[in-house]
Amino acid sequence: MLELDDERMDRRLGAIGKAYDLTVEQYRIGTDPLKDVSEDIRSSQFYRSFAEGKTDTNSAAADINEYLCPEDGMRFLDVGCCANLVNYRLDRWPSNYYGVDISPALVNAMKAFVARQGVSIGGLHVAELARLPFADGFFDIAAVIGVLEYCSLRYIRKGLLELNRVMRPGSRVIVDVPNRDHPYARDMARLEEYLERPIVLHFRSKFEDALKGLFSIDHVGDSNVMIKYFVRKVR
């Protein structure tokens, strides 16, 4: 299990943010970020599922929408928002959308989309899970998808504490971590390494220990390469 002090974790997140910035720039100039992926990775079952969009690991997945049950007046926090606003039009959910990401290029791209389309959302911020720029109890629902695999367990504990702070009592949240026992897990890790975004295959029991006292688990979806935890803030 990866353990890093705050300074080293900051450097790690900075490097991962830059890797995402590079991907944004590659798409902008028409370069495929995956064009030089080795044939060994490209031929894996995970890669084929990933390329076909069958991994079901985005914030707009049907099971996420069903659990969060967004309604008018709700504030929805999307941590690690990436390009979800464009790809899945989360602004069309009845809830008010707020996205945060560690990649300035991604956030700027989403802001440009909002300006072009005249989209109404709550806001977009360059921020990380452990330092959220919001008031206590601000959000009703949240998704933290594709984030914690980049983080040490020490950071995850801090991040979950901060997430607990900004969620209202009883609010619904979905978080995910890699399923280290899934047959695709090692191939996923290799692809992320290629993209200069190394991940940690966390032990499930350690992550569930980190949730205790902050979030109660309603149910778990562990059939895919990422384990989804459907949780509620502990009052």
Residue-wise pLDDT for 133-145, tens only, equals 999 999 999 999 9
* Mean local confidence (pLDDT), 43-65: 79
Pairing mode of beta strands 96-101, 123-126: parallel
| Count of structural domains within the chain | 1
**Per the domain annotation, does 123 fall within a domain?**
yes
Which residues, 6+ apart, have CB-to-CB distance to 21 below 8 Å? Answer: 103, 104, 105, 106
Q: What is the pLDDT of residues 215-229, one digit of tens each?
A: 999 999 987 899 999
Q: Give me the CATH number covering residue 52.
A: 3.40.50.150
Average pLDDT of the chain to the nearest whole number: 94
**Per the domain annotation, does 1 fall within a domain?**
no
**Per the domain annotation, does 96 fall within a domain?**
yes
* Mean local confidence (pLDDT), 85-92: 94
**Per the domain annotation, does 115 fall within a domain?**
yes
Q: Residue 117: pLDDT band by 50, 70, 90 thresholds?
A: very high
Full domain range(s) for residue 98: 6-233
Residues of the chain above pLDDT 70, percent? 96
pLDDT of residue 1: 52
Model confidence, pTM:
0.94
